[in-house]
Amino acid sequence: MLTRCAANFLHGLCPCRWLAASESSRALSSRAKHTLDYSRVPKVNEEDLEEKFVRGSGPGGQAVNKTNNCVVLMHKPSGVVVKCHQSRCQDENRRLAHDLLVARLDRLQNGDLSVEGQLRAAELRKASEQARRQRRLREMKAKWREREGLGSPDRDRTP
């Protein structure tokens, strides 16, 4: 028996899953996390997916090469294919492949309004605000030095 949150997580309805799926956990303010619009995220039906388990490759030797733990998901209506082999565990790869597929479909359908695009826009807003504050602080310090007659900080230093 799955809890309600676990069921939402499996069907792509849980927002905490999107934040974990984005490239590492980005440091956003709590306000920015709550302003993301998840209403446009596409819902993926299990009937629309074609799932294959293939042999993986890469580091891990015999344990990886002889088990079918690499997951290939194909979304039939759009033709989008996702391959995931980040873990040795087939169930985990299956979940990660589903996350990647939903994120890719969201990016294709919604562009800048996708969750990933919204996160990128929030980061850009945060960076520009930080740059504006730093520039303002530098200007205030320069005005104070000029008012106090201290000159520029480079001129006062001796080698």
Residue 71 has pLDDT above 50, yes or no: yes
153 falls within a domain? no
- Please provide the DSSP assignment of 118-147 as one string: HHHHHHHHHHHHHHHHHHHHHHHHHHHHHH
Angle between helical axes of 90-110 and 115-148 (0-180°, round to 10): 70
The two tokens of residue 80 are 């989008």
159 falls within a domain? no
Tens-digit pLDDT profile for residues 92-103: 999 999 999 999
**CATH, residue 100:** 3.30.160.20
Angle at 61 between CA 55 and CA 67, to 5 degrees: 30
pTM for the predicted model, two decimal places: 0.63
The two tokens of residue 89 are 């565990």
Amino acid at position 73, single letter: L
CA–CA dist 57, 64 (Å, integer): 6
Q: Which residue do the tokens 């994120």 mark? A: 103
More confident residue, 15 or 137: 137
Q: Are 52 and 72 in contact (CB under 8 A)?
A: yes
127 falls within a domain? yes
- Its domain, for residue 118, covers 4-22+29-148
* Structural domains of the chain, count: 1
47 falls within a domain? yes
Averaged confidence pLDDT in the chain: 80
158 falls within a domain? no
154 falls within a domain? no
Residue 4 φ then ψ, to 5°? -65, -40
52 falls within a domain? yes
CA–CA dist 70, 67 (Å, integer): 8
12 falls within a domain? yes
CA–CA dist 150, 125 (Å, integer): 35
Tens-digit pLDDT profile for residues 89-144: 899 999 999 999 999 999 999 988 999 999 999 999 999 999 999 999 999 999 99
